[in-house]
A and B are shown apart, each in its own frame.
Chain A
Amino acid sequence: NAGVTQTPKFQVLKTGQSMTLQCAQDMNHEYMSWYRQDPGMGLRLIHYSVGAGITDQGEVPNGYNVSRSTTEDFPLRLLSAAPSQTSVYFCASSLGDSSTDTQYFGPGTRLTVL
């Protein structure tokens, strides 16, 4: 199993540009989520999905869109990049949402918006 994969590893954007961060998992997990991590901070939840076709907002959803057309993939779209979106983005997945389920994280995408 490759686990959770993310592409690209690094990306530089100009203000106003749009892009999609890719996330895929091969563990047949129903739950997937996107986090951002700013320097010296913990992770903050952007959006999450509890299964194909079902998504919901986390703590900091503004400026981001998601969709979940398959169990495996959960892309994150930046609609119009802003310098405040400079961050490291992590995708995660888990089998379920019970108290004992654990999350598996991808290696992250480091995004810089100029």
Chain B
Amino acid sequence: DAKTTQPNSMESNEEEPVHLPCNHSTISGTDYIHWYRQLPSQGPEYVIHGLTSNVNNRMASLAIAEDRKSSTLILHRATLRDAAVYYCILRKPSGTYKYIFGTGTRLKVLA
């Protein structure tokens, strides 16, 4: 299984942008990059996903490197409610129902 590598923790000031990196050097051409986050004492929730092009939604943006060996989740203005563990996951094409969660990045947002 292709693995992802993320920093254990990051800090950001409130109202500032946050860039959360993820390395996935063994990614296959058809693997999608998904991001989930887990707020304290809650189950994970979906944030965003992409294949090759950069993606935006109401929660965040996903920037994918041209060689797809890394990606960055961008929170444009961090709030205290964004403090969570963020997981970068590679999803294989259908037929492999398996999400491999690493230990993720714990984001601390400072007021």
Contact = CB atoms under 8 A, between A and B. Distances in A.
B43 A108 contact: yes
Contact of A108 (B42, B97, B99): B42
Contacts, number: 59
Nearest to A97: B97
A8 interface: no
A107 B102 CA distance: 19
B43 A97 contact: no
Interface in B33-50: 34, 36, 41-46, 49
A31 B94 CA distance: 12
A102 B34 contact: yes
A31 B93 CA distance: 15
Interface residues of B, number: 27
Contact of A100 (B36, B45, B49): B49
Given A105-B43, A106-B43, A107-B43, A99 B98 contact: no
Interface residues of A, number: 27
A48 interface: yes
A16 B110 CA distance: 45
A61 interface: no
Nearest to B48: A102
Contacts of A92: 43-44
